[in-house]
Amino acid sequence: MVTRFRELPCPMCGVSGGLLNGAPLNQGSSELIVGCRSCLEQQLKSANKASVLALFLKPATALTAISRNDATLRELERRKADAGTPGIQSGSTAGNGRTCSNR
C-alpha cells in the first residue's frame, strides 16, 4: 500500500519513475510535503529563502524553520530516493500533499 502510493507520479512536477518521498516543510508552521526528491529539495530551499526574509519580522520562528529545513535537507541527502521517510510510512500524507499549483 505504502509502496504503491510512492510509485505515483510526483504531484509537483508530474514525473513518474522515482519513488515519492515526504518531508516536513517548516515555514512558521510545519506541513508535510510529498514529491520526488528533487522537488522536495527545491521546496525546502525556497522555504528557507522565504524564511530569511522573515528573519526581520519573526527572528526566532524563522531561525527555527531554517534549521529544521536544513536538517530535513540533510536527511534527504542521507536517505536515498528509495528509503522513504517516517511521514510517508505512517500513511498520514493521504490527501495532504502539495499539488502543482505553484507552477
Nearer to Zn ion (CB atom), residue 32 or residue 63: 32
Nearer to Zn ion (CB atom), residue 22 or residue 35: 35
**In the bound complex, what is the minimum distance in angstroms from residue 11's beta carbon to Zn ion?**
8
Is-contact 8 36, C-beta < 8 A? no
Distance CA 21, CA 6 (A): 7
User: Could you say whether residue 88 binds Zn ion (CB under 5 A)?
Assistant: no
Interface mask toward Zn ion for 24-63; x: CB under 5 A: -----------xx--x------------------------
Torsion angle defined by CA atoms of residues 58, 59, 64 and 68, in that order, rounded to the nearest 10 degrees: 90
